Amino acid sequence: MRFLSMVKSWLRGAAGVRAYMVGLALITTLPLAIFSVLIVGELREGQIEDLRHRASQEAESLARTVERQFHDMTTTLMVIETAPELQFENYEQFHDRANAALARSGWYLLVVDRNGQQLVNTRVPFGQVLGKTSNMDALRRAIETGDIVVSNVFFGRTSQAFVYNVMKTIKVPGRTEGERTLIMTQSASDVKRLLGERPLPPRWNYALIDDRNVVVASSTDLAAGDAFPADRLDRAKAVYAQAELPDETDEMLGYATIGMSHWQVVVWGPAGTAMGSLGTIWRNLILAAIGFFVLSMICAVIFGWRLQAGIKGIAGRAAGVGRGEIVSPLNTGIRELDQVSRALSEASFDRHQAEERLQVVLREMAHRTKNVILVAQSLVRQTARHSGDKAAFASAINGRLGSFARSLELLMSDRTSAPMMRELVSVQLATFVETENRLVIDGEDFPVAADAVKEVGMVLHELATNAMKYGALSTPEGRLHLEWHGVQHEDRPMLRLVWRETGGPPPATRTTEPGARSPGEKATGEKGFGSVLIDATIGSLQGSARCDYQPEGVVWTIEIPQAMIRAAE
């Protein structure tokens, strides 16, 4: 059931890794199994054909053995017919000569007349009363044709056993009916001994059959004189004539005829016994194929399970990354999956660090936003306290908030490095200086620390505002000169920034006019909000600010610790 569900999932395109591994094992194993079956089938066909050929060869070999026996017997008859004792009918001496010649051959010689009466029979002593031959049909055929005739097997009265004859009719000179027939006879049991034990496959047999389909000799329990099965003989003849081929499951059949006679030889036996080696190969191949198939399936399931477990583990790690967790790498034993697992682990760590940085940025933003609001509130309160009317308040507050906003914009812009000092000066003074020749900037450019951008920008704006109202920027001839350089103050590196105005109204003129405010001061001598703002802002950076009213114009000298204003490079 699980396999069927796996197949259905596969067909739907939603199968798991194990299903694909099993499918891969099937695709790999089945063609090899089919190929092996085809190869063994071809081998089996070849061996079947070899067995058919062997059965025919065995039958031919038996036939040739018996045929040589007939030739030998015929040759012996031809030699014996020349004996002078036979020509002169001296049968007693002829009996002795023939008996001596055929000693230990298993053959016996008979001489019969035209009527079948025995004149000589070497099977018995000479002079014993003899009767007629037992096979008259063969005798008549020999007399009529004059050819060598091999009789069918028959039961001999003298021998009291099944025998066969090889006959040759000769003429006796001086006799009207002078035919005499020489008969060479042999027992059927001697023929079986002649054929001996044949090197046939197990359960294969042979049979020597005469013209009447009667067994002469056989390797089975068929005895001489028994009838041979007609159906087997017919099938053997059909195979011999190639009228039909036996099925692989049938017995192998061989058939041959024996020259000089109408005798036949049949060889038969089951194919399976002769194909023992191929059957063993076939059985071993099937067992091996089943074993390999089962092993392939087990390996596919095991590998698929490992791969599936690894993928599920990675999926769990990916889900953990999605939840923002730091996940540890897996050790699946599969290099590619381990690489993905390590990548997920590193990504989870990077994400966690990014989230931590984001939290720090958010907290910093909240802190800075709070500071911005506090600074803005302070600017509004201080500006309102030192402004005489709404117009002056609006103008002052807009300028200061604008400067603050520009500093924030420069600080919060999308950049990877801190803003540079010259850039900060240009941003803050761009709205006050119409032409470049009115402003001279001198100093090494350096990155400004984030905590000092707003403060330095606010101071520059306040100085430019005062210069616009009361100082160098209030007249067309006025000029500004801004320089900075490093100094050493009490073993503490400082940055000294000098704001120098020239070409504007003299400071004394600005302070003696009724109702006029000197730079950073009220007419009453009290410090104005600009001076307070500059002092407070520079003080927040652990620095100091000093104003000097020289005849050429006001000069501000500001010193700030390098560590507070310079960003790390």
Query: Hey, what are 191's tokens?
Result: 């023929």
Report how far residue 246's alpha carbon sits from residue 252's, in angstroms, rounded to the nearest whole number.
7
- Give pLDDT, residue 513: 35
| For residue 518, pLDDT beyond 50 | no
Q: Give exposure, 78-97, as e/b (b: 16+ Cβ within 10 Å).
A: eebbeeebbeeeebeebbeb
Q: pLDDT (tens digit, 9 = 90+) per residue, 406-453?
A: 655 655 554 557 888 998 888 888 877 877 788 999 999 999 998 888
With tokens 């004539």, the residue in question is 241
| For residue 46, pLDDT beyond 80 | no
Report how far residue 201's alpha carbon sits from residue 405's, in angstroms, rounded to the nearest whole number.
112
Q: pLDDT (tens digit, 9 = 90+) per residue, 354-395?
A: 777 778 667 756 655 665 565 566 556 656 655 667 676 676
Sign of the dihedral defined by the CA atoms of residues 422, 426, 429, 434, in that order = positive
Report how far residue 252's alpha carbon sits from residue 357's, in angstroms, rounded to the nearest whole number.
91
Count of beta carbons in the 10 Å neighbourhood of residue 310:
21
Give the pLDDT band (50/70/90) at residue 509. very low
Query: Hey, what are 543's tokens?
Result: 């620095």
What residue ranges in 399-451 does DSSP mark as E strands?
439-442
Average pLDDT over residues 6-29: 64
DSSP assigned state of 445: -
**CATH number of the structural domain spanning residue 505:** 3.30.565.10
Count of beta carbons in the 10 Å neighbourhood of residue 145:
10
Sign of the dihedral defined by the CA atoms of residues 543, 544, 550, 553, in that order = positive
| For residue 529, pLDDT beyond 70 | no
User: Distance from first CA to last CA of the chain, Å, rounded?
Assistant: 70
**482 near 463, Cβ under 8 Å?**
no
Report how far residue 295's alpha carbon sits from residue 153's, in angstroms, rounded to the nearest whole number.
64
Residue from 194, 190, 128 nearest 157 by CA: 128
Residue 171 inside a domain? The answer is no
- Give pLDDT, residue 525: 43
Write phi, then psi, for 200 (nearest 5 degrees). Answer: -95, 155
* Higher pLDDT pick, 60 / 521: 60
Report how far residue 270's alpha carbon sits from residue 278's, in angstroms, rounded to the nearest whole number.
14
Residue 63 inside a domain? The answer is no
Report how far apart, in Å, the C-alpha atoms of 323 and of each of 26, 313, 327, 351, 385 are. Answer: 40, 15, 10, 11, 54
Give the pLDDT band (50/70/90) at residue 17. low
Residue 109 inside a domain? The answer is no
Amino acid identity of residue 417, one-letter, is S
| For residue 165, pLDDT beyond 90 | yes
Q: Give how many domains the chain has, as a whole number.
A: 1
Residue 425 inside a domain? The answer is yes
Report how far residue 100's alpha carbon sits from residue 126's, in angstroms, rounded to the nearest whole number.
13
Query: Hey, what are 316's tokens?
Result: 């769990």
Report how far residue 330's alpha carbon sits from residue 314's, in angstroms, rounded to the nearest whole number.
8
Range among 334-338, 369-373, 476-480, 487-491 with highest mean pLDDT value: 476-480
Write phi, then psi, for 513 (nearest 5 degrees). Answer: -70, 140
Q: pLDDT (tens digit, 9 = 90+) per residue, 290-322?
A: 887 788 778 877 877 777 787 888 788 788 878
| For residue 520, pLDDT beyond 50 | no
**210 near 216, Cβ under 8 Å?**
yes
- Give pLDDT, residue 514: 31
Residue 513, domain extent? 387-565
| For residue 111, pLDDT beyond 60 | yes
| For residue 162, pLDDT beyond 60 | yes
| For residue 341, pLDDT beyond 60 | yes
Report how far residue 545's alpha carbon sits from residue 359's, in angstroms, rounded to the nearest whole number.
37
The CA-based diameter of the chain, rounded to the nearest angstrom, is: 200
**452 near 560, Cβ under 8 Å?**
yes
The mean pLDDT value of the chain amounts to 80
Report how far residue 464's alpha carbon sits from residue 473's, in angstroms, rounded to the nearest whole number.
8
Residue from 108, 101, 56, 63 nearest 82 by CA: 101
| For residue 471, pLDDT beyond 50 | yes
Give the pLDDT band (50/70/90) at residue 200. confident
To the nearest whole percent, how much of the chain has pLDDT over 70?
77
Rounded to the nearest angstrom, the gap between the alpha carbon of residue 275 and the centroid of all alpha carbons in its chain is 38
Q: Give exposure, 61-72, as e/b (b: 16+ Cβ within 10 Å).
A: bbbebbbebbee
Residue 443 inside a domain? The answer is yes
Query: Hey, what are 291's tokens?
Result: 């074993």
Residue from 430, 492, 420, 463 nearest 558 by CA: 463
Residue from 226, 239, 223, 237 nearest 271 by CA: 239
| For residue 63, pLDDT beyond 60 | yes
DSSP notation for 259-318: TTSS-EEEEEEEHHHHTHHHHHHHHHHHHHHHHHHHHHHHHHHHHHHHHHHHHHHHHHHH
Give the pLDDT band (50/70/90) at residue 152. very high
Report how far residue 138's alpha carbon sits from residue 167's, in angstroms, rounded to the nearest whole number.
8
Query: Hey, what are 546's tokens?
Result: 């000093």
- Give pLDDT, residue 277: 59
Count of beta carbons in the 10 Å neighbourhood of residue 108:
23
Residue 310 inside a domain? The answer is no
Report how far apart, in Å, the C-alpha atoms of 65 and of each of 55, 222, 352 are. Answer: 16, 20, 100
**555 near 501, Cβ under 8 Å?**
yes
Count of beta carbons in the 10 Å neighbourhood of residue 378:
12
| For residue 245, pLDDT beyond 60 | no
**264 near 209, Cβ under 8 Å?**
yes
Report how far residue 453's alpha carbon sits from residue 460's, in angstroms, rounded to the nearest whole number.
11
Average pLDDT over residues 15-22: 67
Residue 546 inside a domain? The answer is yes
| For residue 247, pLDDT beyond 70 | no
Report how far residue 136's alpha carbon sits from residue 237's, in angstroms, rounded to the nearest whole number.
29
**133 near 180, Cβ under 8 Å?**
no
Residue 152 inside a domain? The answer is no
Give the pLDDT band (50/70/90) at residue 215. very high
- Give pLDDT, residue 11: 56
